[in-house]
Amino acid sequence: MRLAGHERDSVWLRFDDNRRTRAGGVTTRVLFVEDDEAIRETTRVVLEDEGYLVDEATTGEEALGLFHRQPADCVLLDLMLPGASGFDVCRSLRKRSTVPIIMVTARSDTFDVVAGLEAGADDYVTKPFQPKELAARIRALLRRARGMESPSPTIRLGSDLVIIPDEGVVQRKGEDIHLTRTEFRVLCEMAGSPGRIFTREMLLERVWGYGYFGDGKIVDVHVYRLRAKIEEDAGNPRHVLTVRGLGYKVVL
């Protein structure tokens, strides 16, 4: 899955067609970036048992080279890597692709989680993690990514903001706004029902998938980043509003 060069500022959600399974379907390729050999081996075995094709990298530089030669459908990215950090790799990937990124962190420290999400990650898991849980997270991310291919009507927010869900495009005053896949999905979920209040739990289920194991702060970070990109004044938003004690809503 990759961005077309001449439309690098819009969300591009088309899949390559040259990945086939033995049965003739599409193979899901996962790039796992982890310098701990034991974790890498255990996780690879489980993911392959789930039917995924796993590419492995032990450094950020190696990961970027692998992704350039063979784009993956999902990236599992350890934050603490030798050389280029996971944050640097995440930002670099986001400049060229909307590929789903799950960051793997040794700590549940809020700073690490927020920094990773702000670098462009879609989700996170904390070590030690259960490989089966990780496989479930990947499935949820890919389901919602592929579900975005269904046609939906154009949505207009005020006189300046246009959302074209079936093209993965958001424009303000005619200019494309670059959103990550998850930011785009959060916006589409709320904009599809303007005025409706969405709790964090509702957004977790609708965007991150049923049975998501994370917490509400991942929603708050994505809403914060979304406002910074689509609002003229993120400190005084007109489109994505907080409903104190309840959640968020989008207004026309």
| Per-residue pLDDT at 148 | 53
| Per-residue pLDDT at 146 | 65
At position 166, the amino acid (one-letter code) is D
Measured distance CA(92)–CA(96) in Å, rounded? 7
Q: Where are the domains of the chain?
A: 5-147, 155-250
| Per-residue pLDDT at 19 | 41
Strands (E), the chain: 29-33, 53-57, 74-78, 101-105, 123-126, 155-157, 161-164, 169-172, 175-176, 240-243, 247-250
Q: Which of 87, 79, 89, 88 is nearest to 36 (CA)?
A: 79
- Strand ranges across the sheet with 53-57: 53-57, 29-33, 74-78, 101-105, 123-126
The string over 200-221, giving b where at least 16 C-beta atoms fall within 10 Å of a residue's C-beta and e elsewhere, is: bebbbebbbbeebbeeeebbbb
Tokens 């950020």 appear where? Answer: 60
Measured distance CA(154)–CA(156) in Å, rounded? 7
C-beta neighbour count of 96 within 10 angstroms: 15
Query: Could you tell me if 2 and 15 are in contact, meaning their C-beta atoms sit under 8 angstroms apart?
Result: no
* pLDDT tens across the length of the chain (252 residues): 333 333 333 333 333 334 433 333 457 899 999 999 999 999 899 889 888 999 999 999 999 999 999 999 999 999 889 889 999 999 999 888 888 899 888 766 677 777 888 888 888 888 888 877 788 888 878 876 665 555 568 899 988 899 988 788 899 988 999 888 888 889 999 998 999 999 998 898 888 875 555 667 889 989 999 999 999 999 999 999 999 999 999 998
For domain 155-250, the CATH class is: mainly alpha
DSSP 33-58: E-S-HHHHHHHHHHHHHTT-EEEEES
Q: How far apart are the first and last CA of the chain?
A: 32
Question: Does pTM top 0.85 for this prediction?
Answer: no
Does residue 156 sit in helix, strand or coil?
Answer: strand
| Per-residue pLDDT at 96 | 86
Measured distance CA(193)–CA(12) in Å, rounded? 23
Which one of 3.20.20.70, 3.40.50.2300, 3.60.20.30, 3.50.50.60 gives the CATH number of domain 5-147?
3.40.50.2300
Measured distance CA(198)–CA(195) in Å, rounded? 9
- For 221, phi then psi, to 5°, come to -65, -45
